[in-house]
Amino acid sequence: MENFEQLFSILNTEAQKETEGTYLEGLLVALEKWLDGDLHVDVHNLSKEEIRKAIQIAILKGMREGTQPNHQMTPDTFGFLLSFFVEQSFEEQLQAGQSLNVTDLAVGTGNLLYALMNAFDGKIEATGVEVDELLIQLAAATANLLEQPVELHHQDALKDLLIDPADAIVCDVPYGYYPNEEVALDYELCAPEGMSYAHHLFIEQSVNYVKEGGYMFFLVPATLFESEQAQQLHKYLKKHVWIQSVIQLPENLFTSRVHEKSILVLQKKSATMRAPKEVLLAKVPNMQNKEALAMFFEKVRMWKENK
């Protein structure tokens, strides 16, 4: 068995010992016991990625068994792709050894954020916001086990936040209507009638909490620019940001058209920078096809050279 499988097996056994609550609650107890030295994990040379993967499999198991619709985790494929776009956007800073402040306003279990932090280990300090208590506790325990520097805030991310503007935002944005109409009134993207889209408000809140010239990497519904509020969104984006890239993801990653997502990369406008010559519109090929994937990455690099 590989290291991460051995670790998963230990966590899985321990999580199931907690028969009072759900599997995810049992998993949280197991992670906390491990942190406190009360759970013996006899697996040698565990890497941060092996720890993240083992916890990820356990959380996915718990989410499959549970019935909470907001309990969703961002799969590794997206973490891998977002890491590539972050690397392209911050290549010079990362190569110069500068660290980045990254915020995820819907951090959930932290899987997406920690995939990124592990990919650039030691170069990212992060902030995460999450409204769900159990998910943020899992995110906190995982961050401690990974020894990744993360400040977590348990609150509604669309309310005022006590966080500093970040160099970059990453976010698998929650999709659907935002129930708090009073808070929505503070947003330019508040719907003129009826309830506002949470995914629109999350984009605006990201613009509020990123530095000028900073980048935002979103996983958004593929239909983002097709809704009846799309015009309002276009107007907002034109005013505040430069759209860098809109990347379609392969259909085979999703169970149906309604669940399809795209990667949207934005840059907050800055007086000292300029817009890209053209927006990168591209489609990620089937990721099993290594040659096609390598060509896709090359296309992005060429766009970056000429932008």
Between 100 and 105, name the residue whose CB sits nearer to ligand SAM: 105
Tell me: does residue 229 bind ligand SAM (CB under 6 A).
Answer: no
Least Å from the CB of residue 147 to ligand SAM: 19
Tell me: does residue 266 bind ligand SAM (CB under 6 A).
Answer: no
Least Å from the CB of residue 112 to ligand SAM: 4
**Of 172, 237, 247, 284, the one binding ligand SAM by CB under 6 A:** 172
Least Å from the CB of residue 271 to ligand SAM: 31
Contact (Cβ atoms closer than 8 angstroms) between residue 202 and residue 106: yes
Least Å from the CB of residue 225 to ligand SAM: 19
Tell me: does residue 72 bind ligand SAM (CB under 6 A).
Answer: yes
262, containing H or E segment = strand 261-268
Whole-angstrom distance, CA of residue 306 vs CA of residue 237:
23
Whole-angstrom distance, CA of residue 207 vs CA of residue 97:
26
Between 106 and 241, name the residue whose CB sits nearer to ligand SAM: 106
Is residue 276 helix, strand or coil?
coil
CA distances from 212 to 10, 118, 221 (A): 45, 26, 25
Positions 93 through 152 that interact with ligand SAM (CB under 6 A): 106, 108-109, 111-112, 129-132, 135
Tell me: does residue 260 bind ligand SAM (CB under 6 A).
Answer: no
CA 256 and chain centroid, separation: 21
Positions 268 through 297 that interact with ligand SAM (CB under 6 A): none
Between 172 and 204, name the residue whose CB sits nearer to ligand SAM: 172
For residues 29 to 68, the per-residue mask of contacts with ligand SAM, x marking binding by CB under 6 A and - elsewhere, is ----------------------------------------
Between 41 and 105, name the residue whose CB sits nearer to ligand SAM: 105
Rg of the chain over Cα atoms, rounded to whole angstroms, equals 20
Closest residue (Cβ) to ligand SAM? 108
Is residue 273 helix, strand or coil?
coil
166-172, strands of its sheet edge to edge = 150-154, 124-130, 100-104, 166-172, 210-221, 261-268, 241-248, 280-283
DSSP-derived pairing of the beta strands 166-172 and 150-154 = unpaired
Q: How many helices (H) and strands (E) does the chain have?
A: 11, 8
**Of 22, 74, 137, 232, the one binding ligand SAM by CB under 6 A:** 74
Q: Label residue 225 exposed, middle or buried (CB < 10 Å: 0-12, 13-18, 19+).
A: middle
Tell me: does residue 157 bind ligand SAM (CB under 6 A).
Answer: yes
Which positions lie near ligand SAM, rule CB under 6 A? 70, 72-74, 106, 108-109, 111-112, 129-132, 135, 156-158, 172, 174, 198
